[in-house]
Chains A and B, each alone.
Chain A
Amino acid sequence: MNSRPDPNESENPMNTPDLKVDALVVGGGIAGMQSALDLADQGYRVALVEKEASIGGKMIMLSKVFPTLDCCSCITTPKMSAVAHHDNITLLTTCDVQALHTNGNGGYTAKVQQNPRYIDADACTGCRQCEYVCPIDLPASYDLDMGATRAIRVPFSTAVPQKAIIDIEHCLLCGKCEKACPTDAVDFSQQPFTFNIETNAVVLATGFQTTPTDAKREYGGGKLLNVIDALSMERLLAPTGPYGHILRPSDGKEPESIAYVQCAGSRDQSLGVPYCSRVCCMYAIKQAMLLSGALPMADITIYYMDIRTFGKGYEQFYQNAKAMGIEFVHGKVARIDEDSEHNPVIRVETIENGRIAERTHDLVVLSVGMLPGENLGPIFDVQPADDGFAAIPDPTLSPSATGHPGVFVTGTASGPMDIVDSIIMAGAAAAQAAAYLETMRSSVAAGPTAIPEVAHV
């Protein structure tokens, strides 16, 4: 048995320069958290490395989640909390894996850099007094720039850990936060810190990105104020959203007519994204339903090519949306422009009657697709396939195994998928990592001649 790292030190690896674990999970979105929990609950020791200041990934930004319409934090935050409190999990935020080497015993050594928060994480209580005195307001990426944050901040209200971080690129170094901090936690002397993690298995859960809103010139190239992406709409719908209401960005008007443009970044050869992103039909329908609850008088239209509600209970969800009066228009949107009041004007060829129509809405939401996140080639030697997501040698029978023994990939790092599928796949990666750990253990027990069998066959 390896020596167990002190969980109390998990926020401050400066004191634990070298960590020995059974499994290293890279990425603290829903997939990484679930893999970490499924391994830790089996008794394995896990290090979870997240590059941001909080775990939670994209999911924590969402409003309510299909198909159950649970409030997203009801699903995510308890998992975040469970990760933070688990005796078998060492949580390492603001950390990057810089290199991964085989260690010759069937395991790996990861070189990890922790980037400074400029905050003594042990002292910080997350009271946000520093944030209130910071003089500069900055666009908050958590709210897709619609809301504001400051150069020193707790990333968001449900962040785990609840610790402040200084955005040094936007800091004036004025020192106001230092004076305001009741626990003297501000520490400008922090430096990037590098340490090694010894591990036997690796689970990569580095997630996805969404299509940039300026990707498509025909849709305004990101310049039309009232053409937003679906992630922005998630923030508008969330109870913690920037405006506290659903308002359009050009002038703060509550929209009366909202349109969804499906496949805005998927199934589009012109963008080099031929594949389907799997989640956009469902999230658009979900948002439309939530909007008709929040704005009962609003007209909501979804322009689509095919409605792909394929998951368990999803088709029924779609039929409910139709019954609620949400308008589904079969047609590919050719262009979006705006009128003098910044109202977006959609030009669409409706396939039902073959006519070209122009329709004006108050707000247009682009159902942006899922693009690959981090390229796992350079550091982890897991090469991207043609679509940019991790290449899987045997996707049929071993969907989470990479070519390397003991290295697995899960969640949206291995292709577009929703939360339900990410969670299932996270369990699968955990099962295979566990199998790998056990076969390694028994081969060690069997003596040096035994060849460790690869678990992911």
Chain B
Amino acid sequence: MSEKDIRIGAYVCYCGGNISDVVDCEQVAETLRGLPNVVVVRTDLSMCSDAGQSLIEEDIKEKGVNRVVVGACAPSLHEVTFRKAVARAGLNPYLYHHVCLREQDSWVHQSNPDEATAKAGRLMLAGIAKARMLEQLDTIRLEAEQHALVIGGGIAGLRTAWDAAQRGIRVTLIEKSPFLGGHMAQLETIFPTGENARQALHELIEKVVSHFLVTVYTNAELTSARGYMGDFRVTITAQPRGVAEDFAHFDEAAAACPVEVPDDFNYGLTTRKAIYLRYPDAIPNTPAIDWKACTRCGECKKVNGTGIDLDGKPQTIDLTVGAVVVATGFQPYQPREGEFGYGQFPEVVTLPQMIRLMTMQEGNGKLTWNGHPVNNIALIHCVGSREIPGVHEPQEDGRVNDYCSRICCTATLQMTNELHERFPYINLFDLHEDIRTYSRGHEDIYTEASKNGVRFLRFHGDERPEVTAAPPDDTSPLLVRVKDYLTWGKELEVPADLVVLATGMMPNPVSDIVKLLKITEGNDRFLLEVHPKLQPVETAVPGVILAGTAQGPMNIQETCSAASAAAAKVGVLLGQGQVSLEPFVARVNHDLCDGSGQCVAVCAYEDAIALEPVLVDGKTVQKAVVSPANCVGCGVCVSVCPNHAIDVQGWTLEQYEAMVDAITADLPKLEVVE
């Protein structure tokens, strides 16, 4: 197409005020009118609306516009929206260029509208300069492996696996520990339904493990990953279990095992042996060896020669999967030594511990702890949640948990109700900042707690309660001091035989997975989605999807919804057996390439660019050849090529130069109307 046939439509979006409150969009439009090749200039309150998109479509059809530039929000939001509109009007979707006037301009220059308007003009000019050089491109279409890897065998991973398998997609689920179920297995009666946690969990596990499309590996972790959406090559490393499935002498073997470690199922309240079952009916119901604890003394083997193998080797499994779902879950916040007396006084426990402790207490007679009768319990909310930077002590990474963990309020009140039911004589004190029983059925739990006579005390976030030893002649060993705003800021002292800390949620540490999959964590350390409303379960890496509490605090119901939403995304990506990738990949001009191979040397991606024999004038010579599916279009090869033989399609050096020229040119000179 010759220069004069290029007909550019330029559109400046008000973004419902987001841009136009700062940038004078009409003035920007005025700057663009009459520029060479620019045949239509329009503004609109919201270009991304159906009406706004129709403007573009009509201009393409009726005014012969064949290049489109929209100045609006960040391209991550709506570049694709506009490409689709362009395509609907019959134009190649890559004859579109998106200029960011919001995140890069109006939002960051709110106090300087004049300069922001000038900057918007320059950004649009640069976009138009690039648009003159746009060329038709085609998306890269690839076969997709209809197989998803789900990492994490908690309720989130299980629910995703179930929905995806039902949808007809093969699933491999890997669980790091020897047993399935995650934290849900450690709960008893769950809010808001009052169901038994393990019963509900086991029903789902049974179905998942017996589904013909699902393969489950326990003791397994992801150890390598490469490739792209539709075609990830992953390696899973599974540690041996050490115990055969038909091993029938667990009790004797455990009795023989001389190693005793804190039982993490009971959050360290009890101990277990190095050969263990997480709980009697844990799934899989085969005991496992805790390799970290085991000394390989062989005592367990002496009970019965066969069935235990302490010398097993890890197994590696290579798989090709189309999508990866990260469902690695959470861990309860671990209070620091001395925080609210934790670790300092044996009478201070966390809420997860308290849940376990309740199951260890037989009957409904008297609650005892540490051999002492318990008559007063203080429960403190927001431990490891809603912390204030500068007020509360940061963790090792310098950050505080400034978020709400959302499950603890209801879980705490549920605990008070259970305590009241089983041990009605106990005085219960609930110390909180706000009560956040937000979900369906949760407020009822709060109401019940109030009816049960729980005494509520309310503190300010920067004046948290203090747990101290009581004077020796007091009946209870601890005193909790609190400035209570339900009694107008009075300093109160609450006697406590037991203090329960409602600890918040933190993500399971998954830095290895973050690195392998190149995904990101947010400021709160939880895994980060692209956008909470537009792509709420997707990461910035296409094909890598999030499910459950790895992404943020959630209760089981919310986890299941999120996990199903992740399965829907798997269905969208893989359900049709094909994926399309953006065409912004490197392209080699073989006329200029001299086969120096510098590009191959600097490329950080496997199999993205290689020297291959190419026939030129009857002679076979080595030239760089790009494998589009593996190339991410980073442009490192472009920068080292001595002959300018490589470009990234859609973002060529020429296009960049034109944009830079346009940005740095004197504005008035550019405003000259031809």
A and B form one complex:
yes
Chain A residues at the B interface, C-beta cutoff of 8 Å: 38, 41-43, 64-65, 67-68, 70-75, 77-78, 80-82, 84-85, 126, 157-158, 160-162, 238-240, 267, 274-276, 278, 306-316, 319, 330, 351-354, 387, 389, 395-400, 415-416, 419-421, 423-432, 434-436, 438-439, 442, 455, 457
Chain A residue nearest to B388 (CB atoms) is A319
| A158 and B49 form a contact (CB under 8 A) | yes
Chain B residue nearest to A126 (CB atoms) is B51
Residues on B with beta carbons closer than 8 Å to the beta carbon of A351 = 458, 485-486, 488
Chain A residue nearest to B169 (CB atoms) is A438
| A310 and B167 form a contact (CB under 8 A) | no
| B561 and A425 form a contact (CB under 8 A) | yes
| B536 and A420 form a contact (CB under 8 A) | yes
Determine whether B442 belongs to the interface, using a CB cutoff of 8 Å to chain A: yes
Q: Give complex CA distance A449, B562 in Å.
A: 34
| A316 and B536 form a contact (CB under 8 A) | no
| A399 and B568 form a contact (CB under 8 A) | no
Given known A-B contacts A319-B402, A395-B192, A424-B562, A78 and B14 have beta carbons under 8 A apart: no
CB distance from B67 to the nearest CB of A (A): 21
Chain A residue nearest to B567 (CB atoms) is A431
| A158 and B569 form a contact (CB under 8 A) | no
| B564 and A74 form a contact (CB under 8 A) | no
Q: Give complex CA distance A243, B16 in Å.
A: 15
Residues on A with beta carbons closer than 8 Å to the beta carbon of B200 = 396-397
Contact digits for B432-471, partner A, Cβ 8 Å, 1 yes 0 no: 0011111111111001000000000010000000000000
Residues on B with beta carbons closer than 8 Å to the beta carbon of A431 = 163-164, 167, 564-565, 567-568, 571
| B48 and A78 form a contact (CB under 8 A) | yes
Chain B residue nearest to A430 (CB atoms) is B568
Given known A-B contacts A276-B442, A398-B560, A399-B560, A353 and B77 have beta carbons under 8 A apart: no
Question: 8 Å CB contacts to A: which residues of B14-52?
Answer: 14-18, 45-46, 48-52
Given known A-B contacts A71-B17, A306-B435, A81 and B568 have beta carbons under 8 A apart: no
Given known A-B contacts A81-B50, A278-B438, A396 and B534 have beta carbons under 8 A apart: no
| A310 and B406 form a contact (CB under 8 A) | yes
Residues on A with beta carbons closer than 8 Å to the beta carbon of B186 = none
| A395 and B552 form a contact (CB under 8 A) | no
Knowing that A240-B45, A395-B193 are A-B contacts, what are 8 other residue pairs whose CB atoms are under 8 Å apart, sorted by A's residue number? A42-B572, A71-B16, A311-B406, A354-B488, A423-B536, A424-B561, A425-B565, A427-B561
Q: Give complex CA distance A67, B488 in Å.
A: 32
Determine whether B526 belongs to the interface, using a CB cutoff of 8 Å to chain A: yes
| B565 and A428 form a contact (CB under 8 A) | yes
Determine whether B270 belongs to the interface, using a CB cutoff of 8 Å to chain A: no
| B78 and A78 form a contact (CB under 8 A) | yes
Count of A-B contacts judged by CB separation below 8 Å: 241
Given known A-B contacts A65-B533, A397-B204, A81 and B53 have beta carbons under 8 A apart: yes
Q: Give complex CA distance A9, B443 in Å.
A: 47
CB distance from A423 to the nearest CB of B (A): 6
Q: Give complex CA distance A46, B48 in Å.
A: 23
Contact digits for B549-585, partner A, Cβ 8 Å, 1 yes 0 no: 0011100111011111111110110011000000000
CB distance from A141 to the nearest CB of B (A): 20
Residues on B with beta carbons closer than 8 Å to the beta carbon of A436 = 166
Determine whether B642 belongs to the interface, using a CB cutoff of 8 Å to chain A: no
Determine whether B393 belongs to the interface, using a CB cutoff of 8 Å to chain A: no
Residues on A with beta carbons closer than 8 Å to the beta carbon of B346 = none
Interface centre among B52, B486, B534, B565 (most CB of A within 10 A): B565
- Can you show 28 pairs from A to B with CB atoms below 8 A apart? A38-B571, A42-B571, A65-B533, A70-B77, A73-B48, A77-B48, A78-B78, A78-B81, A81-B49, A158-B46, A239-B14, A276-B442, A308-B436, A310-B436, A313-B403, A319-B402, A399-B560, A423-B536, A424-B562, A425-B565, A427-B566, A430-B565, A432-B163, A434-B568, A434-B571, A435-B166, A442-B168, A457-B207
| A239 and B16 form a contact (CB under 8 A) | yes
| B486 and A77 form a contact (CB under 8 A) | no
| A312 and B560 form a contact (CB under 8 A) | no
CB distance from B16 to the nearest CB of A (A): 4
Determine whether B404 belongs to the interface, using a CB cutoff of 8 Å to chain A: yes
Residues on A with beta carbons closer than 8 Å to the beta carbon of B166 = 435-436, 438-439, 455
CB distance from A340 to the nearest CB of B (A): 34
Residues on B with beta carbons closer than 8 Å to the beta carbon of A82 = 81, 84
| A267 and B526 form a contact (CB under 8 A) | no
| B159 and A239 form a contact (CB under 8 A) | no
Residues on A with beta carbons closer than 8 Å to the beta carbon of B45 = 73, 157, 239-240
| B193 and A276 form a contact (CB under 8 A) | no
| A428 and B564 form a contact (CB under 8 A) | yes
| A74 and B163 form a contact (CB under 8 A) | no
CB distance from A169 to the nearest CB of B (A): 27
Determine whether B354 belongs to the interface, using a CB cutoff of 8 Å to chain A: no
CB distance from A260 to the nearest CB of B (A): 16
The contact of B560 among A68, A307, A396, by CB within 8 Å, is: A396
Determine whether B313 belongs to the interface, using a CB cutoff of 8 Å to chain A: no
| B560 and A424 form a contact (CB under 8 A) | no
Chain A residue nearest to B535 (CB atoms) is A423
| A274 and B50 form a contact (CB under 8 A) | no
Given known A-B contacts A74-B18, A389-B440, A85 and B532 have beta carbons under 8 A apart: no
Given known A-B contacts A77-B48, A396-B190, A415-B440, A312 and B552 have beta carbons under 8 A apart: yes
Given known A-B contacts A77-B49, A420-B532, A278 and B439 have beta carbons under 8 A apart: yes
| B50 and A400 form a contact (CB under 8 A) | no
Residues on A with beta carbons closer than 8 Å to the beta carbon of B18 = 71, 74
The contact of A72 among B16, B207, B531, B534, by CB within 8 Å, is: B16
Residues on B with beta carbons closer than 8 Å to the beta carbon of A427 = 536-537, 561, 564-566, 568-569
Interface centre among A84, A431, A435 (most CB of B within 10 A): A431
* Top 7 A-B residue pairs of the complex, sorted by shortest distance between their CB atoms: A427-B565, A435-B166, A428-B564, A77-B49, A71-B16, A431-B568, A306-B434
Contact digits for B348-392, partner A, Cβ 8 Å, 1 yes 0 no: 000000000000000000000000000000000000011010000
| B562 and A43 form a contact (CB under 8 A) | no
Contact digits for B161-180, partner A, Cβ 8 Å, 1 yes 0 no: 00110111000000000000
Determine whether B73 belongs to the interface, using a CB cutoff of 8 Å to chain A: yes
CB distance from A329 to the nearest CB of B (A): 12
Q: Give complex CA distance A399, B566 in Å.
A: 15
CB distance from B434 to the nearest CB of A (A): 4
The contact of B556 among A41, A70, A267, A397, by CB within 8 Å, is: A397
Determine whether B245 belongs to the interface, using a CB cutoff of 8 Å to chain A: no
Chain B residue nearest to A395 (CB atoms) is B557
Given known A-B contacts A71-B18, A77-B46, A400 and B564 have beta carbons under 8 A apart: yes
Q: Give complex CA distance A351, B489 in Å.
A: 9
CB distance from A443 to the nearest CB of B (A): 12
Q: Give complex CA distance A308, B159 in Å.
A: 28
Chain B residue nearest to A238 (CB atoms) is B16
| A68 and B533 form a contact (CB under 8 A) | yes
Q: Give complex CA distance A395, B561 in Å.
A: 10
CB distance from A78 to the nearest CB of B (A): 5
| B168 and A396 form a contact (CB under 8 A) | no
| A74 and B443 form a contact (CB under 8 A) | no
The contact of A312 among B207, B551, B566, by CB within 8 Å, is: B551
The contact of A267 among B15, B155, B402, B443, by CB within 8 Å, is: B443
Determine whether B195 belongs to the interface, using a CB cutoff of 8 Å to chain A: yes
Determine whether B88 belongs to the interface, using a CB cutoff of 8 Å to chain A: yes
CB distance from A65 to the nearest CB of B (A): 7
Q: Give complex CA distance A319, B434 in Å.
A: 14
Chain A residue nearest to B46 (CB atoms) is A73
Q: Give complex CA distance A41, B574 in Å.
A: 10
| B564 and A68 form a contact (CB under 8 A) | no
Q: Give complex CA distance A309, B534 in Å.
A: 21
| A70 and B533 form a contact (CB under 8 A) | yes
Interface centre among A64, A421, A436 (most CB of B within 10 A): A421
Residues on B with beta carbons closer than 8 Å to the beta carbon of A160 = 50
Residues on B with beta carbons closer than 8 Å to the beta carbon of A400 = 561, 564
Residues on A with beta carbons closer than 8 Å to the beta carbon of B406 = 310-311
Q: Give complex CA distance A161, B320 in Å.
A: 43
The contact of A428 among B88, B204, B444, B568, by CB within 8 Å, is: B568
